Amino acid sequence: MTSAGRARRLEGRTAIVTGAGQGVGRGIALALAGEGANVVIAARRAVTGEPVAHEIRDRGDSAICIETDCTDRAAMEACVEHTVAKYGALEVMVHNAFRGGRAHRLEDLDLDLWTENSRTAAWGSYYSAQIAYPHLAAAKERGRLVLVTSPAGVEGSGGIPVYGPVKAAQRALAKSLAREWGPLGVTVNCIAPVAETPALEYAFNERPELKTRVEERTALRRIGDAERDIGGVVAFLASDAGGYITGQTVVCDGGSFMGL
């Protein structure tokens, strides 16, 4: 029970969150753990992931860190295997890790930057989904795949032209997998968050005009909090209450992009 006396919605379930060493991934991990889930912090570097696991355990919740590069199939397989060996099941897979948000011109695209975007967002989604699949299928109507995309995956991005495409690919993959895995009871959704994170801070530093634009366009006039505003949405999708939502993108950006 939480301090409010409410039953925790994910008690006894197990979740993996990639890229949970910072930002949105950390917020999602804190929120899922706060609802009772055993959370695996799948961070590329233990030096960022371990402190988040500690923070969760300090709150009395359950978490471990497994150093995992989401663009490496063997590493993802090992992460899932370790998780299931420790907790006995895997109900919730959240792929959030992303790298490559640097502004550029499409006509001068450096293919290394494309590769970073593609490997983390698209290949990472492919590995997360496929390697978690047998366990999500076994979890049946408790099985959840959540891919963290972006409003840019719908509207495109003028500054980072390859960011929209890899984020759009995640949305399409979620829709196809929602249709494919629906008969098993497993749901597949995306969230499209905007939150105060190191990545957003970096983007604002690189494109100062973007900060003003985002603030002016956001109906709620504030940038989201990764745990409360974004993590809470994933906790809901992961819970039984979210079990009839699949194939969707939940935009949680304070009312900025309204194009869905």
Residues interacting with other proteins, by CB under 8 A?
A: 73, 105-107, 109, 111, 114, 118, 122-123, 126, 129-130, 133-134, 153-158, 160-180, 247, 259
DSSP-assigned states of every residue in 151-177: THHHH--SS-TTHHHHHHHHHHHHHHH
User: Cβ 85 to other proteins, closest distance in Å?
Assistant: 20
User: Cβ 172 to other proteins, closest distance in Å?
Assistant: 4
Question: Is 29 in a helix, a strand, or coil?
Answer: helix
Residues in the chain: 260
DSSP-assigned states of every residue in 47-76: HHHHHHHHHHHHTT-EEEEEE--TT-HHHH
Comparison of 98 and 229: residue with beta carbon closer to other proteins:
98
Comparison of 50 and 155: residue with beta carbon closer to other proteins:
155
Contact 167, 101 (CB under 8 A): no
CA of 200: how far to CAs of 48, 96, 129, 151, 253, in Å?
18, 14, 26, 13, 12
Q: How many CA atoms lie within 13 A of 160 on its CB side?
A: 24
Percent of the chain as helix, strand, coil, to the nearest 5: 50, 15, 35
User: Cβ 259 to other proteins, closest distance in Å?
Assistant: 7
User: Cβ 253 to other proteins, closest distance in Å?
Assistant: 17
User: Cβ 77 to other proteins, closest distance in Å?
Assistant: 12
User: Cβ 40 to other proteins, closest distance in Å?
Assistant: 21
Comparison of 66 and 168: residue with beta carbon closer to other proteins:
168
**How many helices (H) and strands (E) in the chain?**
10, 7
What is the spatial distance between Cα 67 and Cα 86, in angstroms, rounded to a whole number? 15
Comparison of 131 and 234: residue with beta carbon closer to other proteins:
131
Produce one character per residue of 123-152: b if its CB has 16 or more CB atoms within 10 Å, e if not.
bbbbbbbebbbebbeebeebbbbbbbbbbb
Comparison of 18 and 249: residue with beta carbon closer to other proteins:
249
User: Cβ 250 to other proteins, closest distance in Å?
Assistant: 16
